[in-house]
Structure formats: structure tokens, C-alpha cells
Structure 1
């Protein structure tokens, strides 16, 4: 399933676009809403209500990568290349950061399901997302 609708950019990549371009600029004030959370990618910040969610930069980068391709399988290799570019890391590093991300999101609790694992293949962001846009 490919997401349709809004296009936003995070981390220099076009989001929700089947052919992202690497040299696009981030929009000003873009935010992504899902469940009780609000991701402010230009600020590299995840909030729950008015409260910042304590999350490391690698877990945030994983979240952004999954949101960019919500509803699609993002391979373990793609995530590792995104989060640790030009560095070899053990797959266990990805697992550790996904676990931290799921804990921060309380994934699987209170009726909220955000990230699904396809064992040995990758992860998929499955929750509904609302993208608010480009304010100048």
C-alpha cells in the first residue's frame, strides 16, 4: 500500500512520494500526527501533547524513515543504511533502537499499533497519519 495525499519532506527526502529526490529542502513547520503523537521533523522532535518524548536521534531517524514510507515494508537493510550510513553495524543495533521506539510510543498498548515487524525482512508503520504542512 502506498500512502496517498500530502507530500512533505524530512531529512532531505520527499515523503509519501514514490520517487524521492535527495536534494529537496525540508518544509517549514511540517508536522506529522499519529495516535497521541506529533512528530516535528524539522525540529527532530517527537511530542505527546505538549510533552517532548525522550527518544534518541537514531530511534527518531528510524521513525522518520518508517513514516516516509508508511504502509510499506521498509527493509532492515534500508533502515540500517539510513541510520548508520557508510558504517557496518550488527542487525542487533537496529533491534535495540526499534525496541526503544516502540516503548516510547507504547506500541501495542491502549489499542494503538504503530510498527509491525515482518521477521527477517523489515518493519512497517501501520497507523493512520495526518500530515500538516508548509506554513511560511
Structure 2
């Protein structure tokens, strides 16, 4: 069987002939892995365990616990939590959070809101006197709870 050129294969499949599949695949490969590994502590100054309220974040395991039970939380929401905890008490801009959680990818700001909302739900933020994350409209988010390292 004779190998045909990419453009001939595209025409056989009735795809758009102007679509350069090989180039798109090369760009995808050059962009790096589709799924990034969990955030690892950077240097000795970065705490591997952070406690706040009834929760404990184990950074080295990319895990949030309430007591001894794992909190079901997606990786993006967990990455947002880590970014906010790293700058506890400081305003973290929406742009900074989006660049960290979705590096080299364009996403709508609504994606950030969805994941922050999921994070707040998991933390039961605003319930029973718990307040962890404050939104500064149009600017970003701030982690406001007391933190123990």
C-alpha cells in the first residue's frame, strides 16, 4: 500500500483541504503535555502543609483534607486555592490566577468564576461563619482566613 500525502488523505476524508493537520499536531506537541503534573513545592521556603479552618492542604500530595477526609475538588480549583494561599491576605488578580491555572491557553474569565465558585462550595465559604475567599469585583480574589503553616 502506497502512502499518500496529508492533503490527499484530507480530501479522501472530505475534510477541509486547507486544514494543516500535521502543523496543528506539531503545535500541540510543542505546547507540552496536555495534563500538567500537580504543583510541587518550590524550595524549602514553600510550606508543604497549610491549615485553615477545618481544612488542611497537603501541597506535596496535591490534596485538600477536611479533618482526615479528602475534599472532592478539581485540579483547577485546587490550583486556585494554592495560588491564593501563597499570597494569603493579598489581592491576587484575575489575570494572575488565569495565567497560573491555564498557562499558555486563552480561556474566558467565566472559567475562573466557575472554579472559584466550586472552591467556595467545597469550603462552605460564607456558611456557619466561615469566610475564606473574598472577591474584589473586577480586580481579583483574596484569601482572608487565618492560616497556620
TM-score, normalised by the number of residues in structure 1 = 0.77
Return 5+ residue gaps in structure 1 as ranges: 1-9, 14-23, 132-136
Greater per-residue helix proportion: 2
Counterpart of 1:19 in structure 2 is: none
Name the SS for the 2:80 alignment partner: helix
* Contact map agreement 2:57 2:63 (CA 8 A) in 1: yes
Pick from 118, 121, 136 the counterpart of residue 139 of structure 2: 121
Alpha-carbon distance in 1 for matches of 2:144, 2:110? 23
In structure 2, the partner of 1:20 is none
Deviation per CA, 1:65-98: give whole Å up to 9, x if none: 0000010000000000000000000000000000
Task: Give the count of matched residue pairs.
Answer: 112
How far 1:11 sits from its partner (Å)? 3.4
**Consecutive aligned runs of 4 or more in structure 1 exceeding 3 Å deviation:** 10-13, 24-29
- Judge conservation of contact 1:66–1:123 (CA < 8 Å) in 2: yes
Which residue pairs with 1:91 in the alignment? 109
Given that residues 94 and 139 in structure 2 are in contact (C-alpha distance below 8 angstroms), is that contact kept between their aligned partners in structure 1?
yes
Give the deviation of 1:29 after TM superposition. Answer: 8.2
Kindly indicate whether structure 1 or structure 2 has the higher relative contact order, using CA contacts under 8 Å at least 6 residues apart. 1
Superposed displacement of residue 28, structure 1: 9.7
CA gap 1:29/1:68 in 2 versus in 1, 3 angstroms: closer
Q: 1:54, 1:104 within 8 Å by CA — same for their partners in 2?
A: yes
- Segments of 5+ residues of structure 2 without an aligned counterpart are 1-37
Structure 2 Cα separation of the partners of residues 129 and 25 of structure 1: 20
**Which structure is higher in strand share?**
1
Q: Distance in 1 between matches of 2:97 and 2:47?
A: 25
How much does 1:35 deviate? 0.3
Q: Any idea what SS the aligned residue of 1:58 has?
A: helix
Higher Rg of the two aligned structures:
2
Structure 1 residue 30: Cα displacement: 2.2
